[in-house]
């Protein structure tokens, strides 16, 4: 159920910036945070859009998220750097990290940033086009050292955080944007199913007794169920391998693991991001040509259901954005109530 009013992205971003300023974020920080939350709404990643503004405002007010300052460069070698985000928002730090990685890619062919202690990162999808717009490929992984909610294969207790994985790829047309979790489902989807009193569409949870289940109520039971790694009951060793890939490349390389993360780290994230400049090893334009051939091959695959053409990652999100840029953003009544709370909290009337 969406509300009738469809405010423009511009108006929502300006309003959110004012709210974030009022909770102590500097102009640069507030602008970047608002921009990348609204970017999530525009792409249809609604659980990672302005729905999370309230969380960010409270984190700023309580000092969990810093509103001022700069990430520290902990250590570097030509084509890779480790940053400590100093509990600044990922929404502010990551665009700067992508920019730095792009510069390294121009110089060395690839550029890699590992960023630890970044507060709310939101949807990785919103950072990808910075690289693809410049004709570069980007890969991102994110983990959360103070969280353990995903089980390795064969276990009924959790050791991984929910770990999103994303790629952005330039083509001759619109970019390919992939942003997915490495578990069978995301905690947010379980909570939505719970609120809507329906079962999950497939067994994505493992109960404390060790049973795979579709029942979201087990997630809030005592003891609670945990999320299964991608692959589930049959192939979960593959998802476990991918979660290990994510956590070795983020927590391991950042030298900031679960034994280092303090309780007050809360949701602070560690991000691996890498940009590749394809012109380092092929002629300008060659990569986009090859990438477009791959996209065409996917689109031309014969659909199982003739009414459902085979989809390329990101195509739906980009269409949603185009529509919302033209018509304004659709907010659900539930999200709008959260935004009304923010408006009162900051004394900044909604657009």
Please list every residue from 95 through 124 that binds a second copy, using CB under 8 A. Answer: 107-110, 112, 114
Q: Counting contacts by CB under 8 A, is residue 44 touching a second copy? A: no
Write down how long the chain is. 351
Residue 32, interface with a second copy (CB under 8 A)? no
Nearest-approach distance from CB 116 to a second copy, in angstroms? 10
β-pair partners for 160? 150
135 vs 98: CA distance, rounded Å: 13
Q: Could you say which residues in the range 261-320 bind a second copy, by CB under 8 A?
A: 274, 276-278, 280-283, 286-287, 290-291, 293-294, 297-298, 300-305, 308-311, 313
Minimum Å gap between C-beta 215 and a second copy is 16
For residue 223, whether the previous peptide bond is cis, meaning omega lies within 30 degrees of 0, is yes
The reply on whether position 244 binds a second copy by CB under 8 A is yes
Size of the site for a second copy (CB under 8 A): 87
Backbone torsions φ then ψ of 69, nearest 5 degrees: 110, -170
Rounded least distance, CB 171 to a second copy, Å: 9
Q: Which of 241, 348, 317, 229 is nearest to 39 (CA)?
A: 317
- Which residues from 151-170 bind a second copy, rule CB under 8 A? 151-159, 167, 169
Among 94, 122, 141, 230, binds a second copy (CB under 8 A): 230
Closest distance between a second copy and the C-beta of residue 80, in Å? 3
Taking CB under 8 A as the rule, does residue 133 contact a second copy? no
Three-class secondary structure of residue 137 per DSSP: strand
The answer to whether 194 and 151 are in contact (CB under 8 A) is no
Which one of 136, 141, 184, 339 is in contact with a second copy (CB under 8 A)?
A: 184
Sheet hosting strand 150-151, strand order edge to edge: 150-151, 226-228, 205-206, 212-213
Q: Tell which residue, 258, 275, 291, 250, has the closest CA to residue 107.
A: 275
Report the nearest approach of a second copy to the CB of residue 94 (Å): 17
Q: CB of 119 within 8 A of CB of 60?
A: no
Q: Does 206 bind a second copy (CB under 8 A)?
A: yes
Q: Would you count residue 240 as binding a second copy (CB under 8 A)?
A: yes
What is the C-alpha separation between 224 and 126, in angstroms, rounded?
Answer: 32
Neighbours of 314 (CB within 10 A): 24
- x/- contact string, 325-344, with a second copy (CB under 8 A)? --------------------
* Least distance CB 82 / a second copy (angstroms): 4
Single residue of 61, 134, 245, 328 touching a second copy by CB under 8 A: 245
- Of 108 and 345, nearer to a second copy (C-beta) is 108
Task: Report the residue from 63, 210, 319, 327 that binds a second copy according to the rule CB under 8 A.
Answer: 210
Minimal distance, residue 139 CB to a second copy, in Å: 7
Distances (CA, A) of 317 to 44, 60, 201, 311: 6, 29, 22, 11
Residue pair 137/168 in contact (Cβ under 8 Å)? The answer is: yes
Q: For a second copy, which is the closer residue by CB, 286 or 325?
A: 286
- Distance between CA atoms of residues 262 and 250, nearest Å: 17
Q: Least distance to a second copy from the beta carbon of 200, Å?
A: 10
User: Distance between CA 342 and CA 332 in Å, rounded?
Assistant: 15
Instruction: Kindly tell me which of 288 and 342 has the beta carbon lying closer to a second copy.
Output: 288
β-strand partners of 226: 206
At its nearest, how many Å lie between a second copy and the CB of residue 206?
A: 7
Whole-number Å distance between alpha carbons of 128 and 132? 6
Q: Is 80 in the site for a second copy (CB under 8 A)?
A: yes
Nearer to a second copy, 219 or 256 (CB): 256
What is the number of other CB atoms lying within 10 angstroms of the CB of residue 196?
8
């Amino acid at each position: 159920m969406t509300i009738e009013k469809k405010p423009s992205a511009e108006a929502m971003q300006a309003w959110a910036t004012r709210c974030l300023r009022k909770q102590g974020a500097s102009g640069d920080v507030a602008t970047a945070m608002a921009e990348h939350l609204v970017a999530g709404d525009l792409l249809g990643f609604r659980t990672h859009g302005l729905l999370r503004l309230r969380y960010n405002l409270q984190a700023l007010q309580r000092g969990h998220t810093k509103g001022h300052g700069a990430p520290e460069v902990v250590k570097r070698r030509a084509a890779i750097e480790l940053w400590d985000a100093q509990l600044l928002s990922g929404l502010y730090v990551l665009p700067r990290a992508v920019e730095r990685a792009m510069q390294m890619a121009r110089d060395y062919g690839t550029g890699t940033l590992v960023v630890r202690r970044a507060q709310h990162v939101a949807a990785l999808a919103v950072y990808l086009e910075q690289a693809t717009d410049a004709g570069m490929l980007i890969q991102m992984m994110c983990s959360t050292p103070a969280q353990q909610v995903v089980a390795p294969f064969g276990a009924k207790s959790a050791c991984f955080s929910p770990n999103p994985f994303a790629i952005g790829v330039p083509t001759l047309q619109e970019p390919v944007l992939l942003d997915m979790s490495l578990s069978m489902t995301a905690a947010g989807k379980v909570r939505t199913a719970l609120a809507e009193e329906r079962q999950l569409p497939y067994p994505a949870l493992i109960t404390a007794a060790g049973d795979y289940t579709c029942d979201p109520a087990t997630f809030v039971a005592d003891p609670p169920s945990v999320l299964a790694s991608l692959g589930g009951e049959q192939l979960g060793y593959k998802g476990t391998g991918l979660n290990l890939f994510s956590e070795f490349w983020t927590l391991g390389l950042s030298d900031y693991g679960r034994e280092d993360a303090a309780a007050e780290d809360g949701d602070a994230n560690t991000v691996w991001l890498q940009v590749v400049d394809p012109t380092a090893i092929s002629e300008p334009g060659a990569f986009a040509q090859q990438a477009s051939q791959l996209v065409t091959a996917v689109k031309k695959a014969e659909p199982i259901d003739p009414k459902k053409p085979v989809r390329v990652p990101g195509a739906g999100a980009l269409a949603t954005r185009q529509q919302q840029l033209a018509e304004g953003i659709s907010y659900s009544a539930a999200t709008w109530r959260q935004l009304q709370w923010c408006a009162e909290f900051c004394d900044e009337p909604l657009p």
